[in-house]
Structure 1
Amino acid sequence: MFKLSCLSFSVPYWYVLLLDKTSWNNHSYLYGLLSILLLFSSANHTGMFPYVCLATLPVFCDADWSKRWIARCHGLLRKCLPDATRKITYVADDSPAAVAGVEKRGKNSTFKITLVGLYVVTQLALPWSHSVTQGYNNWTNGLYGYSWDMMVHAWETMHVVVTVKDKTTGRINYLDTEVFVRNDKWVGHADMASIYQYAHCVKDRLGAVNMTDVAIYVDVWRSLYGRFQQRLIDPRVNLLETEWSPFRPTRWLMPLLTELSAWRQKLNQLERTVFNWSYESRVAFVADFPGLSMDNYVPASVTNATIQVLEGQVELSIENSR
C-alpha cells in the first residue's frame, strides 16, 4: 500500500508539473524526486522522520554502547533491561529456502543501490549541465545556470510587447500578455517551454479564429540586479520561423550589456533624486542596441515627462504632441 501511494502521488504530480513549466521553482521538482526515492524504499517501516533521525544516532557510537549503558544502570531499571553479559550464539541456516531468500534480498539491494547511485551522479552532474544544454542558458551561464535564472537572480521586467502580424493583410495587432498565461516567468527564457513555446501556442490559438498566416514578434525589457532595462531577445525575429535547440546557443538572444554594470550605483542615486521630487514620481533607466527603437506611451495625466541621455546618442520622435 505504501509503494502504491507513492506511485499514485508521483505520476500525477510529475504530469501536472510538466504541464506548466513557468510555475517551477527549486522546490517543485524536489517533491517529485523525493516521491520516486520513497517508491523504491521501505520508509513506511521507519516511522516519522525526526524520530528516525534520533533513532539512528547510535549508529555513530561504539558497537558496545548499549551494553556499557545497561551496565551502569542500577536497581529496578537494571532488572527490566536485557542482560548485558549474556552471549548470543547464531546458528547458520543453510537450507535452500534461506539461501534463496538471501539471494533475492541481495538482488533487490543491488537494484536499489544502483538507482541511488544514478541519482547521486545526476545531482553531481547537474551544476555543469549548462555547458551541454546551451539552449537553456540566458544572461547567467554559471553553475546551475537555468535554475538560478528561475529562482536566485533578481529580475525586474519593465514591459513585454507581443506583436502579431497578419502576413495576408499586413495588419499589425498587439496581444495582451495575460490572455493565455497566469504569470510572467515565461518572458525570461528563450527555450521551448517559455518564449519560443509561447509564440507557437499563440499561433495555434489564433488558428481557431482563422488567422493562420501570421508572424509573431516578442519584445521583452528586463533588468538584472539593478542594471539598465534592456532587451532580452531580438524583437526583429519572427519566432515562428526561427529555430531553437537545447544543445546550441540561442542566436536571437540579446547579450547582457555588462559594460554598463558600473552604472548601477549612479542609477540608485538618480532614482533617489527623482523620488524626492514627488510621491508619484517614477523613473526608468533603459539601454538599447544601435539601430533599434522603443515606443513609450505617456498617459495624458502626466504633466512632466523628462528624458535625459546619460551616454551615447538617441533620436527622439514625439507623435500627437500638443
Structure 2
Amino acid sequence: MAIEAGRGEGLVRALFRPVDIASLAVFRILFGALMLASVVRFWANGWIQDLYITPAFHFHYYGFSWVSPWPGAGMYVHFAVLGLASALVMAGLFYRVAAAVLFLSFTYVELLDKATYLNHYYLISIVSFLMIFMPLHRAASLDAWRKPSLASGTAPAWALHLLRFQVGLVYVFAGLAKLRPDWLVRGEPLGIWLSAHSEMPIVGPLLDERWVAHAASLAGAVFDLTVVFFLMQRRTRPFAYAAVVGFHLVTWALFPIGMFPWIMMGSALIFFPPDWPRRRFPALFGNARVEPEPQRLPSRRGQRLVVGLLCAHAALQIALPLRHFLYPGDTAWTEEGFRFAWRVMLVEKLGYVEYRVVDRATGRTIFVDPSRYLTPLQVKMMSMSPDMILELAHHIVGDFRARGGDVAVFADAWVTYNGRPSQRIIDPSVDLANVRDSLLPKPWILPLDEKGSPAVSRGEPRAR
C-alpha cells in the first residue's frame, strides 16, 4: 500500500511540476488565430446563411434535439461573438471568459446540424473546453500586461501533457482505424479520390495508377500510427514535424477538408520542448532561461481532484473511439459508433433515398423526395447515414400529421460504399414511423454485402 501511495504522490508531483509556459502561450495564440480565420471563412463563403439559416430542417445529435438556430439575423450576431471570443483568446485578454464563450458558441454551432459534422469540429470543442481551465494567458498576453501579478514564466505540466494527449489521440486512432481491408488491401477510398485528380498537370496521370493509391494508403496508416512517437523523441522530432507539415499540405491541396490540416500543423508544435518559442521569439518571451518558480498550487485534496478529473477525461476520450465494438458489422457502413472517434477520411459513400409514405386509413401511397425538406448538402449527407434517414422519416410523419394524416413511412435507401456496387442500407419493410432512435444497435440497418465487383464513384472526401 505504501508503494502504491508513493506512486500516486509521484504522479501528482509530476503533473504539477512547473514547465516553461512559452509553448502553451503559442498554442493559445495559434488556436485563437485559426478560429478567427474559420469565422472569417464562414462569413466570406456565405456558409452562415447556407448551412444554418436557409435550411428549414436540421438534423440533431442524440439528446440535443432542443438545439436550434437563432432567428432572424441572430446567427450572424452569434458568429460575430464567436469571432470576438477567438480574437480575445488569441490576444489573451479576459482569457477565461473568452475561452468559455469560445467553447459554448462554437459547440452550439457544431450541434445545430449533424449534416455538417467534421472531426476537427469535435476537436475544437474539446480543446476549447480544456483551455478554460488552463493558465495559458500568463505569458504573451494582454491579461499579463495589464495585470503583472498574473504573469508567470511557468505553468503546471499537466496542461502541456493534456494537450499532447488530446492531439496525439487524433493521430493514433486515425491510424488504428486504417487497419482494415478497404484501406490496406483495396487502397480505398484513396484510389477513388486520387483518380478524381487525374486531370492535374504533371502528377495527374500518376494519381490514376492503382499502385499509387495502395502506396499512399500504406504510408498514411504508418504516418498516423508512428508520428506521435517520433514527435516525442528529440532526435526525430524535426523530421517528424516536417512530415506533419508535408502530409497536411498535400491533403489540403488535394482534398476539400477545410481547416483540419492547419489545425493539426499548429497543434503538433505542442510536442516540441516547452521553451522552444522563448529561443525562437525572444522579443515576445525573453531569451533568459526560465527557472522553476513557486507555484500557486491547490491543496493536496485539490491536486488529487485535478488528477482524478484528468484520468476521467483520458478514459472517456479513449473509450468513445472504441465504442464501435459494441455494434455489429462495419461501423463505416452503419455509422454506429462512427462519429467522435477520429475515423478520418475512411469513407467514400454516395447514397440515394426515396421515402414511401402510406396513409394508414386509405392505403394510398405517396413517394417523397428528401429535397422537398432539405438543402442539397443535407440530402447528400443524409442519404448515406441511417440515423439521419430515420430522423427525416420522423419529420415527414410530423408534417403529414400536422395536415391531419396518419401515415407509415418506409425508406428505399441505396448506398455505394468505397467503390462497391450500390446496395440497400435500410430494411424497406420497416415502418420508420414506429422506430425510435437510441444508442442501441439498429436491427433495421441492413448488413454490408461484400459480394460483387467494384463500382465507379467519383466523390470527394470529407474529414468526417
- TM-score class, shorter-chain normalisation, is 0.5 to 0.7
Judge conservation of contact 1:46–1:52 (CA < 8 Å) in 2.
no
Look up the match of 1:166. 359
Task: Please give the alpha-carbon distance, in whole angstroms, between the structure 1 residues aligned to 2:100 and 2:111.
Answer: 17
Partner SS state of residue 156, structure 1:
strand
Partner SS state of residue 197, structure 1:
helix
Look up the match of 2:382. 186
Q: Which amino acid aligns with 1:234?
A: D
Cα pair distance change 1:151/1:198, threshold 3 Å: farther
Look up the match of 2:188. none
Per-residue deviation at 1:113? 3.5
Look up the match of 1:42. 135
Look up the match of 1:251. 443
Which of the two has greater helix per residue? Answer: 2
Cα pair distance change 1:179/1:6, threshold 3 Å: farther
Cα pair distance change 1:150/1:239, threshold 3 Å: farther
Judge conservation of contact 1:160–1:221 (CA < 8 Å) in 2.
yes
Look up the match of 2:31. none
Deviation track 1:10-44 (CA, whole Å, cap 9, x = no partner) reads 22322332231121111111111111110111112
Q: 1:206 aligns with which of 400, 403, 406?
A: 400
How many residue pairs are counted as aligned between the two chains?
Answer: 224
Higher relative contact order (CA 8 A, sep 6+): 2
Query: Does 2:373 match 1:155?
Result: no
Partner SS state of residue 27, structure 1:
helix
Per-residue deviation at 1:132? 2.9
Q: Relative to structure 2, which stretch is displaced further, 44-53 or 166-175?
A: 44-53
Task: Please give the alpha-carbon distance, in whole angstroms, between the structure 2 residues aligned to 1:201 and 1:150.
Answer: 30
1:227-246 mapped onto 2 (5 Å cutoff): 227-246=420-439
Cα pair distance change 1:45/1:148, threshold 3 Å: closer
Q: Which amino acid aligns with 2:404?
A: N
Unaligned runs of 5+ in 1: 60-80, 83-87, 93-100, 272-322
Cα pair distance change 1:149/1:173, threshold 3 Å: farther
Partner SS state of residue 218, structure 1:
strand
Task: Please give the alpha-carbon distance, in whole angstroms, between the structure 2 residues aligned to 1:136 and 1:17.
Answer: 26
Judge conservation of contact 1:140–1:149 (CA < 8 Å) in 2.
no
Cα pair distance change 1:161/1:54, threshold 3 Å: closer
Unaligned runs of 5+ in 2: 1-93, 142-265, 278-286, 458-464
Task: Please give the alpha-carbon distance, in whole angstroms, between the structure 1 residues aligned to 2:384 and 2:137.
Answer: 41
Deviation track 1:293-316 (CA, whole Å, cap 9, x = no partner) reads xxxxxxxxxxxxxxxxxxxxxxxx
Partner SS state of residue 178, structure 1:
helix
Q: Which amino acid aligns with 1:156?
A: L
Judge conservation of contact 2:409–2:432 (CA < 8 Å) in 1.
yes
Task: Please give the alpha-carbon distance, in whole angstroms, between the structure 1 residues aligned to 2:322 and 2:296.
Answer: 40
Judge conservation of contact 1:139–1:256 (CA < 8 Å) in 2.
yes
Judge conservation of contact 1:135–1:245 (CA < 8 Å) in 2.
no
TM-score (ref. length: structure 2):
0.42
TM-score (ref. length: structure 1):
0.58
Per-residue deviation at 1:234? 1.1
Look up the match of 2:120. 27
Per-residue deviation at 1:57? 3.8
Judge conservation of contact 1:156–1:223 (CA < 8 Å) in 2.
yes
Query: Does 2:220 match 1:2?
Result: no
Query: Of the two, which has the highest radius of gyration?
Result: 1
Judge conservation of contact 2:334–2:445 (CA < 8 Å) in 1.
no
1:138-153 mapped onto 2 (5 Å cutoff): 139=333, 145-146=338-339, 147=341, 151-153=345-347
Partner SS state of residue 8, structure 1:
helix
Partner SS state of residue 116, structure 1:
helix
Task: Please give the alpha-carbon distance, in whole angstroms, between the structure 2 residues aligned to 1:134 and 1:44.
Answer: 46
Cα pair distance change 1:255/1:164, threshold 3 Å: same
1:58-69 mapped onto 2 (5 Å cutoff): none
